[in-house]
């Protein structure tokens, strides 16, 4: 029987160092999925974003927000084509990060959301949640622009609000990598197959 179901679009979100990249790697392998991440630092726009994050250049808040959003629009066709081929996508950060980080700086939330309106909507958003106190000692926290405890706290408040409004699946990031991975797999296995309709919804 021909399986004409489209791929699942799964997004991982959360504060810096919550373990998104680690889980994206494990999950994309387990699901034989295409791995994506935002910002995609490999494009010309992504290079500007990367310089901004590393503190090598300053850009005003509205402009950098639009660049982060444009960096997702650049990938719009790839996302749609991949899903329509029946291939799953596991994506490290998406539009929700755009909203959380920019609105935590004080930009109006509706304005922040508007720029991404029309992009493919994920089927599942997995929010790896942890108190910032427990993330700030991980890896090289502090190396990039937004990696400051107070600011991350404000970002978390926006993520928490969106989690309710947009029905994110919340998983504690303070567990072993293996525990987190198995909880994510449970969520995916419980995801109703018949809800995986053939049209891709929009943000």
Binding site for Na ion (CB under 5 A): 16, 144
Pick out residues in 134-173 that bind ligand T5A (CB under 6 A).
138-139, 144, 146
Q: How far is the CB of 42 from ligand T5A (least distance, A)?
A: 12
The interface region with ligand T5A, picked from 1-9, 13-21, 28-36, 106-114 by CB under 6 A, is: 13-21
The interface region with ligand T5A, picked from 73-81, 95-103, 159-167, 189-197 by CB under 6 A, is: 95-103
Q: How far is the CB of 50 from ligand T5A (least distance, A)?
A: 8
- Rounded Cα–Cα distance for residues 32 and 28 (Å): 6
Given the structure tokens 């809800």, which residue do they identify? 195
- Rounded Cα–Cα distance for residues 70 and 16 (Å): 21
**Three-state DSSP state, 124:** strand
Interface pick for ligand T5A out of 6, 20, 113, 129 (rule CB under 6 A): 20
State the DSSP code for 142. Answer: T
Interface pick for ligand T5A out of 43, 51, 53, 109 (rule CB under 6 A): 53
- Rounded Cα–Cα distance for residues 16 and 19 (Å): 8
CA distances from 203 to 8, 30, 47 (A): 15, 27, 25
DSSP assignment of 83-111: HHTT--EEEES-HHHHHHHHHHTT--HHH
> Interface with ligand T5A includes 189 (CB under 6 A)?
no
- Rounded Cα–Cα distance for residues 119 and 115 (Å): 9
> Interface with ligand T5A includes 39 (CB under 6 A)?
yes
> Interface with ligand T5A includes 109 (CB under 6 A)?
no
Pull the structure tokens for residue 89: 């996508």
> Interface with ligand T5A includes 120 (CB under 6 A)?
no
Rounded to the nearest angstrom, the gap between the alpha carbon of residue 68 and the centroid of all alpha carbons in its chain is 12
Q: How far is the CB of 28 from ligand T5A (least distance, A)?
A: 13
- Rounded Cα–Cα distance for residues 30 and 24 (Å): 10
Q: Which is nearer to Na ion, 25 or 144 (CB)?
A: 144
- Residue 97 partner contact from Na ion, ligand T5A, none using kind-dependent CB cut-offs of 5 to 8 Å: ligand T5A
Residues lying near ligand T5A in the complex (CB under 6 A): 16-22, 38-39, 53, 68, 93, 97-98, 101, 138-139, 144, 146, 176-177, 180
């Amino acid at each position: 029987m021909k399986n004409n179901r489209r791929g699942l679009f799964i997004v991982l979100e959360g504060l810096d160092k919550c373990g998104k990249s680690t889980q994206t790697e494990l999950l994309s392998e387990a699901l034989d999925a295409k791995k994506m991440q935002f910002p995609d630092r490999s494009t010309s726009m992504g290079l500007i974003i990367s310089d901004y994050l590393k503190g090598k250049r300053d850009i005003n808040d509205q402009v950098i927000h639009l660049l982060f959003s444009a960096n997702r629009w650049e990938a719009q066709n790839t996302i749609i084509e991949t899903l329509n081929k029946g291939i799953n996508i596991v994506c490290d950060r998406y539009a929700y990060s755009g909203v959380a980080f920019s609105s935590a700086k004080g930009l109006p939330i509706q304005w922040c959301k508007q720029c991404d309106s029309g992009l493919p909507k994920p089927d599942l958003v997995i929010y790896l949640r942890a108190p910032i106190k427990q993330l700030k000692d991980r890896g090289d926290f502090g190396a990039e622009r937004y990696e400051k405890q107070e600011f991350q706290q404000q970002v978390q408040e926006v993520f928490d609000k969106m989690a309710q409004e947009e029905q994110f699946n919340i998983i504690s990031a303070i567990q072993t990598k293996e525990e987190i991975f198995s909880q994510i797999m449970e969520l995916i296995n419980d995801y109703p197959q018949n809800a995986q309709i053939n049209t891709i919804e929009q943000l």
